[in-house]
Amino acid sequence: MTTKEVVEILKKGRAYAQRTKYKEAMAYYNKALSLDPKYPESWYLRAAVLIDTGKPQEALADCERALALNQNYADAWSKKALALFNLERFEDAVLAATRASTLNGNDAMAWYIKGVCLDELGRSDEAQEAYGKSLELEIILDMDAERRKIRKQ
């Protein structure tokens, strides 16, 4: 099985996940993992579905597998932060979110999770800073989306 084929399978799974058809998405992700367990994106995508279906502990394990294969996988760090937040492990979530935002400074979600967790830990000033960064990025993304929409019209 080539990486190209795994990528195709993941693409199908992603399409289902986007439509919240998680069962079908999981089937594709599991297939991809059985064919090539060394491909980190499969672990990451499965973690995303596990979070959306309320299984943060399992999602965390999948994130760890993705990160064991690629320590600089920014999205996996971001997802790990989300899993840790859902498990109410706020200190650890801050660390994971910080790593995610260091690897990818444009990850609005990572900054936001960092803000929420810092808030939970009572570190208000730092939380405000993280929220501010998250908002900046969201606004830039939103403006881009608006521009694309106008161009389409």
Task: Pick the closer one to other proteins by CB: 24 or 120.
Answer: 120
Yes or no: say if 9 and 32 are a contact pair by the CB < 8 Å rule.
Answer: yes
Residue in the structure block whose two tokens are 């444009």: 106
Contact status: 153 vs other proteins (CB under 8 A): no
How many whole angstroms separate alpha carbon 117 and alpha carbon 103?
19
Closest separation in Å from C-beta 28 to other proteins: 20
Task: Pick the closer one to other proteins by CB: 66 or 83.
Answer: 83
How many CB atoms lie under 10 A from the CB of residue 70? 15
Task: Pick the closer one to other proteins by CB: 64 or 138.
Answer: 138
Contact status: 98 vs other proteins (CB under 8 A): no
- Of these, 18, 125, 151, 152, which contacts other proteins (CB under 8 A)? 18
How many whole angstroms separate alpha carbon 134 and alpha carbon 105?
10
How many whole angstroms separate alpha carbon 137 and alpha carbon 128?
14
Task: Pick the closer one to other proteins by CB: 5 or 136.
Answer: 136
Residues 36-55 that bind other proteins (CB under 8 A): 51-54
Determine if residue 72 is left, alpha or beta; phi over 0 gives left, psi from -120 to 50 gives alpha, anything else beta: alpha
Interface ranges with other proteins (CB under 8 A):
18, 51-54, 56, 82, 85-86, 108-109, 111-113, 115-116, 119-120, 128, 131-132, 134-136, 138-143, 145-146
